[in-house]
Structure 1
Amino acid sequence: MSWEIQFRKTEAQLDIKLASFLNPQSFANVDHIENDINLLLDELTVIIDGAEQTISSSPSFALQHKLARHRDVLSDYYSQFKRAKEKTRATKNRVDLLGSVRNDIEAYRNKSYSNEQTLNKENDKLKSSHNLADQAIKIAMDTQESLRFQRSLYKGINKRFLELGQKFPMLNSLIGRIKNRKKRDSLIMGTVVGFCIILILYYSG
């Protein structure tokens, strides 16, 4: 196989590699393609150098001109490859930068969404605590109103019993027992209400 056929064959492979290098499917294999191009350029250089040594003693102007033209082509390939590397690296840097910006934006969005969820949960928890506190206050107020009603009722009953006790002395002992029972009921009622309020406040926290 003549040096010129070898040059054309290697040149065709180089054209394919340069096209892939300029428009890579993925930047992950750019370094591999770049190494292949360097090997092909070295191979073309070896072919030209070998041909130059072979025809250096030949007086044929046509061969000298053909060799010079192929060396110009090789030089042009080196220039193309240099520009392709600059373009590919600039594109890769731009893609990496855009990817980094996208990742930062996505991380910020995820963080904002997480913070929003946390705030919503805290807000719901606060609302629930307020509702439970309102319920506890309502229970306490209803209980207080009930105790006031019972106190008023007991006062009326006591007054009536006192009047009867004055008329019937044996009723005094019965009145005393009723007073003790009223105190005990009030104490039990207060204890139950206080315990309920403590439970509500504990579980709302």
Structure 2
Amino acid sequence: DLRKQARHLENEIDAKLVAFSKLGINTGTRHATTEEVPLLDEEQVFENMASEIETLLAKLFSINERMSELQPNGAAMLHTMQRHKEILKDYKLEFNKIRNNFTARKDREDLLGSVRKEIDNYKSATGLNRREMYLKENQHIHNSDRLINDQISIAMETRDHLMTQRQAFKRIRTRFNDISNRFPAVNSLLQRINLRKRRDSVILGLVIGVCTFLMLLYAFH
């Protein structure tokens, strides 16, 4: 009869809830302690078992409703019917508790896994960035050293060139003084030439100044 069917379903649901609870705990613990992929998708097994339990709960609810439609023969039968409803209520509460705990644990583990992955990625990226920074800094130092060496080489070449020119000018000046001392007439001639150049420069400057003054005077009249 209906009471036997109800007791049979209750026993089956009770056994499945025990297995369901163990599966939820083992699945969460295994995911939290290992990164290996199991041969069977335990989450899928968990969901399949949840679906089976929901089906059994629906059947038990249907049988309880059918028993409620019957007229109780006495207080004992009424108590039995009420007891079946309470058992169904307890099973639903236990089932929802197990599934909610599993979902919360899974979400927490997914969040921790995501955070751990981001940390690993950040460490990896930071290590690469540091290596790149060190390489760039090393290259910059190498380029700076090469540039400094080039500048030092240019400065040394310029110094040598100036020293060579200075020595050449000294030799020319010495020769010119020797010629002047040996040939006083040449020295006197050179002095007169220099005086004439200075005089011509003064005269030319005066002429240019007068012309400029006359042009300005004409322009402003």
Q: Same fold (TM over 0.5)?
A: yes
1:14–1:40 contact (8 Å) kept in structure 2: no
Other structure's SS at 2:27 match: coil
Q: Could you tell me which of 87, 95, 107 is aligned with 2:101?
A: 87
2:68·2:81 contact (CA, 8 Å) conserved in 1? Answer: no
| 1:88–1:159 Cα change, 3 Å | same
Query: Aligned residue for 2:50?
Result: 34
What is the match of residue 198 of structure 1?
Answer: none
Distance 1:76 1:23 in 2: 23
Q: Higher relative contact order at CA 8 Å, sep ≥6: structure 1 or structure 2?
A: 2
Match of 2:157 in 1: 143
Identity of aligned residues (%): 18
Q: Which has the larger radius of gyration?
A: 2
CA distance in 2, matches of 1:12, 1:20: 12
Q: Contact 1:17–1:33 at 8 Å: present in 2 too?
A: yes
- What is the aligned counterpart of 1:73 among 78, 81, 87? 87
> TM-score scaled to structure 2, two decimals?
0.53
Show the 5 A alignment for 1:1-40. Answer: 2-3=4-5, 4-25=7-28, 26=31, 28-29=43-44, 31-40=47-56
- Out of 13-22 and 62-71, give the one that drifted further: 62-71
Question: What is the DSSP-based 3-state SS (H/G/I as helix, E as strand, rest coil) of the residue aligned with 1:72?
Answer: helix
Counterpart AA for 2:112: L
| Structure-2 separation of matches of 1:132 and 1:75 | 84
Once the two structures are superposed, the pairs formed by residues 34-183 of structure 1 within 5 Å of their partners are: 34-49=50-65, 52=67, 56=70, 59=73, 65-66=79-80, 68-151=82-165, 154=168
SS at match of 1:24: helix
Q: What's the TM-score once normalised by structure 1's chain length?
A: 0.56
Could you list the runs of 5+ residues in structure 1 that have no partner in the other structure? 166-205
Letter of the structure 1 residue corresponding to residue 138 of structure 2: D
SS in 2 for 1:136: helix
Q: In 1, Cα distance between the equivalents of 2:89 and 2:132? A: 64
- Residue 53 to residue 69, structure 1, CA distance change in 2 (3 Å): closer
Counterpart AA for 2:55:
L
The alpha-carbon distance between structure 1 residues 36 and 22, as it changes in their structure 2 partners (threshold 3 A), is farther
Number of matched residues?
164
**Structure 2 unaligned regions, length at least 5:** 32-41, 180-221
Change (3 A) 1:38 1:95: same
Provide the rounded CA distance (Å) in 1 between the counterparts of 2:119 and 2:113: 10
RMSD over aligned Cα atoms: 4.1
Residue of structure 1 in register with 2:211 after alignment: none
1:3-42 deviations in Å (ceiling 9; x for gaps): 2345423431232123323553458435444333322322
Range with greater deviation from structure 2 (33-42 or 23-32): 23-32
Displacement, 1:108?
A: 3.8
- Residue type of the partner of 1:36? E
Amino acid at match of 2:52: D
Amino acid at match of 2:88: L
